[in-house]
Amino acid sequence: MRPLLYGTFWIGISLAIIIAPFLVLLIGPIPPGRGFWREFSVGLGFMGLSMMGLQFFLTGRFKYLTSPYGIDVVYHFHRQISTIAFALILLHPLIIFISTPITLSLLNPISAPWWMGSGTAALLALAILILTSIKRKELAIRYEPWRLTHGFLSIVMVALSVIHIEGVGYYVQGPLKRWFWIGLVITWIFSLVYVRIIKPIWMLKRPYTIEEIIRERGKTWTLVLRPEGHLGISFKPGQFAWLTVGKSPFAIREHPFSFSSSAMNSEKVEISIKELGDFTSTIGEIPPGTRAYLDAPYGTFTTDRHTAPGYVFIVGGVGISPIISILRTLADRHEKRSLLLFYSSKTWEEVTFREELENLTRRLNLRVVHTLTNPAEDWEGERGRISAEMMARYLPENRVDCEYFVCGPDPMQMAVKEALEELGLPLEKVQSESFNYI
């Protein structure tokens, strides 16, 4: 199935899952004494809960579900739809309180029934989950504790919501409604079991050994991983893996990093990581021989998905990692098409893979344009950030037909996309990747 049709298919399935609880609500007689606004608010709450349950699949790294879109789109959608779900769930009690003020007494924790306390706790858990996700950096919450808390609150919120529905009782009466909710809960449990038990068991049987750690320029380290007792993994150049180092694959301490090695080498894989804090600041201290696990491959940021007469790569900082994988792979494939790389760095000494890029210009039809934001006085190359004016000086005549790959910090990506649009280049030919939402 083509990616567009495949993606449309899963969007349709997702919409059906979200709307289904609302439609099931209409089956059977309306409980006595419950007006339109109360039933409408319940429908909104059901839709919001269904959206939250859907997130277990969306973030569960089911490749068949996420492959048509790419990691950026999936996690951006995850953030947006979770916020919408929170709004729908919040509207559920607000509409009831406004339409029937007497129900405000249910907020009294002493006199309120247990199922009301469960619903209130679920809403509070969801509010904390959303707040800590949106404001994680401002709140200075480290990635690993946040990820552990995020998963825990998600499970607690959904479980308490289901308990709330069961306690109210009106909406699980009748075999059809009851089996619908049982089926929905079973699918959510299956997702959790697959992600937290089945997949780690599979990874446990396919370990890797960190054979070597190479110090690169620009505070970057390359981990060389060799498969232990298996044939390794196949990936497309530009894709990434979830890496767990020195821990069991059951531990929630995995991090996403792009492959930097050639996809043509199945004997070992390389992952290049820049020191940016938390886990990455200790990469250079990992002793060779340490066991590691990979959940891979993921991502659509690859030239293998896009046929074009030439490729243009626009990179900032650590964004070079997936690009060097693409270039190494193309060199091993004896690629003849035109390739152009814009590479922005702070200083000449911090240009990661500087020497290898020079070597690749002799193996490929590749031109590398370096630009430095903090150059030495004697630097004769491009200066400053990548701009439309700078790119216009180097882009080929068939620039409209080329495919563009942008990777780097988010502000840099936004600026580059604006520059490409200024040059009249169609944005559907611009591919980008960022791990900002992870």
Does some domain include residue 105?
Answer: yes
The CATH number of residue 42's host domain is: 1.20.120
Query: Whole domain around residue 275: which residue ranges?
Result: 208-298
Given a cut of 90, whether residue 10 has pLDDT beyond it is no
pLDDT-based confidence at residue 350 (cuts at 50, 70, 90): very high
pLDDT of residue 170: 80
Of residues 277 and 361, the one with the higher pLDDT is: 361
What is the structure's pLDDT at 437? 46
Is pLDDT of 29 > 60? yes
Q: What is the C-alpha to C-alpha distance for residues 154 and 146, in angstroms, rounded to an integer? A: 12
C-alpha distance from residue 234 to each of 7, 263, 326, 332 (Å): 23, 7, 14, 15
Domain boundary among 188, 203, 218: 203
Answer yes or no: do 320 and 286 share one domain: no
Q: Does residue 32 have a pLDDT over 90?
A: no
Across the chain, mean pLDDT equals 90
Query: Residue range 428-438: average pLDDT?
Result: 75
Which band of pLDDT confidence, cut at 50, 70 and 90, is reported for residue 6? Answer: low
Q: Within a domain: residue 106?
A: yes
pLDDT at 287: 94
CATH number (domain holding residue 395): 3.40.50.80
Tell me the per-residue pLDDT of 392-415, one tens digit each, with 9 for 90 and over. 999 999 999 999 999 998 899 999
What ranges in 59-136 are assigned the alpha helix state H? 63-66, 71-99, 114-134
Same domain, 53 and 178: yes
Report which of residues 324 and 74 the model is more confident about: 324
Q: Total structural domains in the chain?
A: 3
- 409: in domain: yes
Q: Residue 134 falls within a domain, yes or no?
A: yes
Give pLDDT tens digits for 133-180: 888 888 888 877 888 899 899 999 999 999 999 998 888 887 888 888
Residues 78 and 192 in one domain: yes
The arithmetic mean of pLDDT across residues 325-350, rounded, is 97
Least confident of 6-15, 153-162, 304-313, 367-376: 6-15
Whether the predicted pLDDT of 17 surpasses 50: yes
Judge if 315 and 424 occupy the same domain.
Answer: yes
- Given 158, 173, 203, the domain boundary residue is 203
Q: Report the distance separating Cα 163 and Cα 20, nearest Å.
A: 19
212 and 176 inside one domain: no
Residue 277 lies in a domain: yes
Evaluate whether residue 157 is within a structural domain: yes
318 pLDDT tier (thresholds 50, 70, 90): confident
pLDDT at 73 > cutoff 90: no
- The answer to the question of residue 394 being in a domain is yes
- Over 60: is that where the pLDDT of 306 sits? yes
Percentage, residues of the chain above pLDDT 70? 94
Report the pLDDT value the prediction gives residue 62, as an integer from 0 to 100: 76
Q: What is the DSSP string of 178-240?
A: HHHHHHHHHHHHHHHHIIIIIHHHHHHTS-EEEEEEEEETTTEEEEEEEESSS------TT-E
Q: Do the domain assignments include residue 438?
A: no
What local confidence, expressed as pLDDT, does residue 1 receive?
47
Are 314 and 243 in the same domain?
A: no
Q: Are residues 294 and 307 in the same domain?
A: no
Which pTM was predicted? 0.86
- pLDDT value at position 398? 93
Residues 100 and 36 in one domain: yes
**80 or 341: which carries more pLDDT confidence?**
341
Q: Are residues 126 and 181 in the same domain?
A: yes
pLDDT bracket for residue 435 (50, 70, 90)? low
Domain at 284, CATH number: 2.40.30.10
Indicate if 274 and 313 belong to the same structural domain: no
Sorted by sequence, the CB contacts under 8 Å of residue 115 that are 6+ apart come out as 163, 164, 166, 167, 168
Return the half-sphere exposure (C-beta side, CA atoms, 13 A cut-off) of residue 244. Answer: 17
**Confidence tier at 30 by pLDDT (50, 70, 90):** low
Residues 148 and 124: their CA atoms lie apart, in Å, by: 18
Residue 213: φ, ψ to 5°: -125, 120
Same domain, 35 and 125: yes
Do 356 and 425 lie in one domain? The reply is: yes
Boundary residue ending a domain (298, 326, 360): 298
So what's the pLDDT on residue 3? 59
